[in-house]
A = this chain, B = another copy of it.
Amino acid sequence: MNTPDIPMAGLSIAAVERDTGLAKDTLRVWERRYGFPAPARDGRGERVYPAEQVDKLRLIRRLIDQGMRPARLIDLDPDALTRMLEELGGAPASAASEHGARLESLLELVRLHQPEALRDGLQQLLMKMGLQPFVIDIVAPLCTRIGEAWLRGYVDVPAEHLYTEQVKGILRTAIGVRSTAARGRPAVLLTTFPEEQHALGLLMVEAMLTPEGTCCVSLGVQTPLDDICSAAAAGHYDIVAVSFSSAYPLRHAIDGLRSLRANLPPTVELWAGGAGLRTAGRKLPGIQVFTSLEGIPAAVNEWRKAAGIQP
């Protein structure tokens, strides 16, 4: 009934699904179409995946997340796949920027799993810079750097998680301190669509909004569309803000935003942003699209001017 993974010879299809994130159906259909993976079979005729094949599947999955397609990848050997991942990392990003060196040293702390030093370092920068510049110049670029480094295999998953958790802790603390009894306008409802899991992006937005004196309420990630509507109407919010990570399918974002705009009371503004909307600039009438965090404070002032409200 269940599949004990004890026979170290290989993994069951359920275990591979768990480890690679590829659905059982997908694993079977790849085998049928491409001849890979080619698992052995146990006495019952059930698939038994050797570890090397699972490793290769993991590499392929990463490349697919980057936009590659399975047919081009499936016949390559692991070395070639690894090389592709490294190249794809691409942009040397920061070295030039003002905080470049700082970012590099933080990245090293992440890579070497130093939670305390990382937190102390971040905390210190936050104190020195203030919340908004900290988010714009440190947290956001570091997210990008770590994402690239992860693609290249330079940092591993736990390191990335570690960073995310430490930053979440720090941002929440900073927001918590500032927002006690905030009751300003605009009142902003903040969340993501159901398939979107990137909580950190949401938190960065909240960190940009709170110091502006807005009344910012986050529902966290993955709120169903119609629930966003009902919550917005029930809570008398001025603005609904939705965040999309780069992994979010652009098509879904656009469809969802249009449908949301249609169902939302016209008096409620709809703001959307995040790496997932980079290219979707003007296709969204009636919706304010942000391509970077910097624009948020100005947009708040804009709203206040239009509404005739002084901060």
Contacts and interface: CB of A to CB of B under 8 A. Distances in A.
A172 to B, nearest CB: 4
Contacts of A173: 172-173, 176-177
A62 interface: no
A133 interface: no
Interface string A23-47: 0000000000000000000000000
B156 A230 contact: yes
A288 interface: no
B197 A2 contact: no
Interface residues of A, number: 67
A219 B162 contact: yes
Interface in A153-177: 156-159, 161-162, 164-165, 168-170, 172-173, 175-177
Given A19-B224, A176-B170, A224-B19, A120 B5 contact: no
A67 interface: no
Contacts of A158: 219, 223, 227-228, 230-231, 234
A97 interface: no
A173 B172 CA distance: 7
16 contacts: A2-B254, A4-B252, A4-B255, A4-B258, A18-B195, A19-B194, A21-B194, A113-B235, A123-B180, A156-B230, A156-B231, A158-B219, A161-B223, A162-B217, A173-B176, A173-B177
